[in-house]
Each structure stands twice: as structure tokens, then as C-alpha cells.
Structure 1
């Protein structure tokens, strides 16, 4: 089983919702387990109801407004609709370079071509080179070096060429 097959298997397990997959061949064995907890998003803000009952507390009103504005900052890439987002094809640890003493594969402002290695994601002790699917200019790196990434998490914003 080669790296591409392992990556596709990881993608399949992530998308299908299966908790565990084991494959055993003559000289190769792989087990993929997911421990993903469900993600809950609380879209309602109960705090505005409280100020209506207790009107003399303007400080309580200011705090929920700040909470409502925070998710709006997360939606900022929507404004950049002309940019293409390169997403993580797997769960693992994101690295911008091949080793700590090597330069980054790409930096903001660099031109990339389809098929060019842009980062590495370590998954199950395997270092997977992630290639750009588009040609263009790197506008923003969305993940810190050596940080964990999830499947389909945005990694880079690219302005297409």
C-alpha cells in the first residue's frame, strides 16, 4: 500500500463516519481509528434576554455584543471570494518545511504551481507531502507551524493565476 492509498483511506474514514478500519495484507497492516467528538455550535445568545428583565445593567449588554462579533471575524475569508482555499487532505500535524533547519516550502507572496509541494502533514508517523492543486500566489498561511490540523481544515489562501 503506497502513501496515496493511505491518504485516500484516511479521507474515506473521515468522511464515512466509521470509527475504526483495519486492513491486513501479506506484509502490511494498518488500523485507522477516529476519536472525533461531535462539534456543537451554539447559535443562540441567551444573554440579550437577561438585560430586558434587568434593564439597569448596561455592562451585561456590552459583553454579549462582543461574543456575537467574534464569530464574524471567523467568517472573514468569505469576503475574499476570489481566493482559493487549499485544505488539509487529512488529520495530522502541519509543517511548513521539511525540517526545522530548512526553509519553508512556500511563504506569503510566493508563486505556486499545481503539483508543487507546499507543506507536510505528519499522520501516523508518516510525513505526507501536500501538493498545491492550483497555480497562483500564496496570499495567507492559515495554520501555525507544528500545529495539529483536521481533515478539510483550510491551510492556505491562494490568488489564482
Structure 2
């Protein structure tokens, strides 16, 4: 996460009226507290989390050497569509409607893939690529983080 993304997140939280937002990824932890009615300020804490590197003996014991290589080659041509915001992921526009996309569907640039609810606002998430949906990586009505993978798309 770069400084511009952090600044955008701070502005978004300040405008939303939320008093506190916490974001934690693999390598960074951010807490943003906006000022209450009388305090008039905002506080942002950014903490770099230590990255643990698995030992070679653990990696060899956990999986055969051919499996990760084969999977990596298979996934190398796939595009990952990630969440642009924090919120709740919905596959359908409403409970009584069908899902926006299913595995195997062909999508075009601009097609709505899902909705993410953030601060009672429902945001349509549109595709920036054309291709075929290979996998949906998030369950319906699940919370998602910023930059969390949502879909795998085969562009060919």
C-alpha cells in the first residue's frame, strides 16, 4: 500500500463519519480514528508488521515440488480482480435476483461483477478486463478488505 492509497483511505474515512477504521493486510496494519464532535482532529497509526519467511524444511515437507510449479503455470495467465474498497461483498443486486456473474460466464470491460456495501452505500464493481470467470474467491455476504482478490478471470 503506497502513501497515496493511505491518504485516500484517510480522506474517505473522514468524509464517511466513521469514528474508527482498522485495516490489516499481510504486511501492514492501519488504524484511523477521526475526531469526535469536540476533539476536531484525526489520528492515523501505521504499523509495519514483520514478515515471516518459512524455513526450507517446512516448505519441502508441506507439498511435493511439482504441484506448486504446475499450479503456478496454470494460474500465470489468469487475471485477479481485486476489491477497490473495504466493505461487504454481494454477488447479487438483491436477495431475490440472480448473481451478476457465475463461473464460466464471459465478461466484458464495464460489466458489473458484484456489489460492495461500504457505509450503507452500495458500490457496483465493474470489470476492467474482458474474459471468462474461472473462480469466485469470496463467499456472498462476506466482509472484504481493500485489494482482496475477488475473482479469477481467464483473458484468452
Post-superposition CA distance 1:61-107 (Å, at most 9, x none): 9xx944xx5xx97xx56741111111111011100001122110000
Match of 1:34 in 2: 21
Match of 2:89 in 1: 94
SS of 2:85's equivalent?
A: coil
Whether the 8 Å contact between 1:136 and 1:160 is mirrored in structure 2 is yes
Whether the 8 Å contact between 2:134 and 2:151 is mirrored in structure 1 is yes
Q: Which has the larger radius of gyration?
A: 1
Match of 1:103 in 2: 98
Cα drift, residue 34 of structure 1 = 3.0
Whether the 8 Å contact between 1:139 and 1:158 is mirrored in structure 2 is yes
How many equivalent residue pairs?
A: 126
For structure 1, the 5+ residue unaligned runs are 1-10, 49-60
Distance 2:52 2:103 in 1: 34
SS of 1:102's equivalent?
A: coil
Match of 1:53 in 2: none
1:132 aligns with 2:127: yes
1:43 aligns with 2:53: yes
Cα drift, residue 17 of structure 1 = 5.9
TM-score with structure 2 setting the length: 0.65
Q: Which moved more, 1:87-96 or 1:12-21?
A: 12-21
C-alpha change, 1:147 and 1:21, in structure 2 (3 Å) is same
TM-score with structure 1 setting the length: 0.63
For structure 2, the 5+ residue unaligned runs are 30-48
Which ranges of 4 or more aligned residues in structure 1 deviate by more than 6 Å? 11-14
SS of 1:36's equivalent?
A: strand
Distance 1:93 1:127 in 2: 9
SS of 1:15's equivalent?
A: helix
C-alpha change, 1:97 and 1:80, in structure 2 (3 Å) is same
